[in-house]
Amino acid sequence: MSAFPAADRLVAGIFLLFVATTVAGSVLAVFTTRIIRSVCGLALASIGLAGLYYFLHSPFLALMEILIYIGAVCVTIIFAVMLAEPDEPRPDKPTGRSILWWLGAIVVSGAIFWSVARLGLMGNWPTPAIDRKDGSVHDIGVALLTTYSLAFEVISLVLMVAILGAVAIARSGRHHE
């Protein structure tokens, strides 16, 4: 890149924009009361994440994030939402029991956040020895079928378990009628 005034700050600004998008999307997904807006928050967070992947020199992963998480996952969720009741009932008044659940959820998510943040900041992460030539079809194919083939297969196993779980839940729902 040739000399351009304040190029560093421009790049830092774009990076912060993606971070802000991710955080804002996640907050929206959790705190809004309308389920359709939660899905939009999820989509927004995925866009922010895609931007962060781009900053990690992985345009392929960034575009896959958009194609799969927004183009497939969010679309599926919205489709499921559309089949439900359009007007969500007002949230119930908080009772003692629900406040207890709230506290439990806050403690658990706080613990997860703390440990992930600690791991990210303090962990002894190995720096990649070579610059991975991410992007060309050949490199991706080689990586998926040799170096990361175990991870690839394990992920497909997880997906199969998820599908079986969905089938099981759907079947049991049918028996109750």
Per CB under 8 A, the segment of 60-68, 109-117, 155-163, 167-175 that binds other proteins is 60-68
Residue (14 or 161) nearer to other proteins, CB? 14
The footprint of other proteins on residues 100-129 (CB under 8 A) is: none
Q: Which of 72, 99, 157, 167 binds other proteins (CB under 8 A)?
A: 72
Hey, CA dihedral for 27, 31, 34, 35, is it positive or negative? positive
Report the chain's C-alpha Rg in angstroms.
Answer: 21
Q: Which of 94, 104, 110, 135 binds other proteins (CB under 8 A)?
A: 135
Q: Name, in order, each residue with C-beta under 8 angstroms of 69's C-beta and a sequence gap of 6 or more.
A: 42, 43, 46, 49
Q: Which of 19, 52, 78, 143 binds other proteins (CB under 8 A)?
A: 78
The footprint of other proteins on residues 4-23 (CB under 8 A) is: 4, 7, 10
Tokens of 100: 């207890």
Burial of 86 per CB tally in 10 Å (0-12, 13-18, 19+): exposed
| Total residues interacting with other proteins, rule: CB under 8 A | 31
Q: Tell me the one-letter amino acid at 163.
A: I
Note whether 45 binds other proteins by CB under 8 A. no
Q: Distance (Å, rounded) from C-alpha 48 to C-alpha 81?
A: 23
Q: Which of 21, 38, 43, 49 binds other proteins (CB under 8 A)?
A: 43
Q: Residue with structure tokens 């960034």? A: 62
Q: Which residues bind other proteins (CB under 8 A)?
A: 1-4, 7, 10, 34, 36-37, 40, 43, 59-60, 63-64, 66-67, 70-72, 74-75, 78-79, 81-82, 86, 135-138
